[in-house]
Amino acid sequence: MPVVKQTLLTGLNHNLERVQPSAIRAFDNEVSTIPSILKLTLGEPDFNVPEHIKQAAVRSILENDSHYAASNGTMAVRKAATHFLKDRYDVTYDAASEIIVTVGATEAIYTVLTSLLNEGDKVILPTPIFPLYIPITLVGGGEPVFIDTSSNDFVLSPEMLKQTIKTHGDSIKAIVLNFPSNPTGVTYSAQEIKALADVLRDTNIVIISDEIYSELTYETTHVSMAQYLPEQTIILNGVSKSHAMTGYRIGFLAAPAELVTKLSLIHQFTITTANNTAMAAAAEALGTEAGRQDTLAMKAAYQERRDFVYQTMINLGFTIPRPAGAFYIFAKIPAGYHQDDFEFARDLAVKNKLAVVPGSAFGPGGEGYIRLSYAASLATLQDAMSRLNDYLKDNRQA
């Protein structure tokens, strides 16, 4: 086993020293060693990929679709993505010049931030937020600017945004809006999106609109930021959450053509192109009526699960913003228990074999909360709530 020459380590990208491993993954790995653990940690849909989508992948293989595709993705999947955006959210993009097919939304995040950031540029991150944005900003030489939204029911208000822009001025390069939100499940109404767009319109701030959970909204209809400010917006989306295709690793981004020309450079030099067979499956998911119906069926199941878990945990004493989308519960730990969320989550895992994610993993405003995913069967969730109930009965502090 080779041992690295120690002096080599001093020459690595110095920004790596500012980055920590994913707290979500680290905690999940830690509790995975506990026998009989029931995990509600990762955002992993429990559904199988629909049969017609799998058959599209099989056809791709049988038809020897095994050669390099265009770097920005096959025209079939780019056309399917533009159809999806127009059909669902009434936003219009050109498949040839305004879409890039990425290796999951994760690569889209990396491509966008790496393309945008110069040393010292700032990125507004309303927190709690999906934490991947933080290390990618840091590695790119940028500075995260956190806005703790916990005092406003986890919604970024125009006033908060105005004050942050006033404080940091022209050093702000971008803002990330992730809605429906991971971890809170909170989303934005048309009026709220329009109000934020009105604040951003006269700035040079790029809006990174992460809408990967757009298809999983419940009582409301998702509204894309691109309806109000398309000239400044980069949409991120994909099939991982909407069609239970996390392992296929297909996302996409949509933006004005001049931006896509620049973004495609980092995309091309990072991954060359996405996988042909996975793209064939994604084209079927995004571009057909059967794909639309798949999502509607999954969404109905998620809503039933949400209602069960939400009401059960409310009855147990948790304070929870009612999730209007995605498949997460973000719950304030009740008084009388460990208020350190890592300590609470670790104790729950050890004593009652139930794993959830500490809220601090999602940035400022997450302290004292836990996140759990209800992308699991109702029977599994019933077992989880029983374990949680038992833990609360036995561990209340004096």
Q: How far apart are CA 268 and CA 272, in angstroms?
A: 4
* Calpha distance 177→264 (Å, rounded): 22
Contact present, 109 and 100 (Cβ < 8 Å) = no
pLDDT tens-digit map of 229-272? 999 999 999 999 999 999 999 999 999 999 999 999 999 999 99
d(CA 41, CA 374): 9
Cβ atoms 306, 315 nearer than 8 A: no
Q: What percent of the chain has pLDDT over 90?
A: 94
- Asked whether the predicted pLDDT for residue 81 surpasses 90, the reply is yes
Tell me the C-alpha distance between 121 and 99, whole Å.
Answer: 25
Q: At residue 48, what is the residue type?
A: N
Does the pLDDT value for residue 382 go beyond 90? Answer: yes
Q: Give the angle subtended at the CA of 277 by the CAs of 276 and 283, to the nearest 5°.
A: 85
Q: What is the pLDDT of residues 38-80, one digit of tens each?
A: 999 989 999 999 999 999 999 999 999 999 999 999 999 999 9
CA angle, 35 then 39 then 42, to 5°: 140
Tell me whether the CATH fold assigned to 6-48+292-392 matches the one assigned to 51-288: no
What's the rounded Cα separation, in Å, for the pair 125 and 196?
14
Is the pLDDT score of 314 beyond 70? yes
Q: How confident is the model at residue 20 (pLDDT cuts 50, 70, 90)?
A: confident
The domains of the chain are located at 6-48+292-392, 51-288
* Per-residue confidence band for 398, with pLDDT thresholds at 50, 70 and 90: low
pLDDT > 70 in the chain, percent: 100
| Mean pLDDT over each residue of the chain, to the nearest integer | 97
Asked if the peptide bond before residue 45 counts as cis, ω within 30 degrees of 0, the response is no
Assess if CATH 3.40.640.10 describes domain 51-288: yes
CB 109, CB 136: distance < 8 Å: yes
pLDDT band at 397 (very low <50, low <70, confident <90, very high): confident
Dist CA 25 CA 34 (whole Å): 15
Q: Model confidence over 359-370: pLDDT tens digits?
A: 999 999 999 999
Amino acid sitting at position 394: D
Backbone angles phi, psi at 72, to 5 degrees: -80, 5
Q: For position 22, what pLDDT does the model report?
A: 84
185-216 pLDDT tens trace: 999 999 999 999 999 999 999 999 999 999 99
pLDDT at residue 25, as a whole number: 85
Statement: 6-48+292-392 belongs to CATH 3.90.1150.10:
yes
- Cα distance between residue 144 and residue 174, in whole Å: 10
SS3 sequence of the chain: CCCCCHHHHHHCCHHHHHCCCCHHHHHHHHHHCCCCCEECCCCCCCCCCCHHHHHHHHHHHHCCCCCCCCCCCCHHHHHHHHHHHHHHHCCCCCCCCCEEEEEHHHHHHHHHHHHHCCCCCEEEEEECCCCCHHHHHHHCCCEEEEEECHHHCCCCCHHHHHHHHHHHHHHEEEEEEECCCCCCCCCCCHHHHHHHHHHHCCCCCEEEEECCCCCCECCCCCCCHHHCCHHHEEEEEECCCCCCCHHHCEEEEECCHHHHHHHHHHHHHHHCCCCHHHHHHHHHHHHCHHHHHHHHHHHHHHHHHHHHHHHHHHHCCCECCCCCECCEEEEECCCCCCCCHHHHHHHHHHHHCEECEEHHHHCCCCCCEEEEECCCCHHHHHHHHHHHHHHHHHCCCC
Q: State the distance between the two ends of the chain, measured CA to CA, in whole angstroms.
A: 52
pLDDT score, position 21: 83
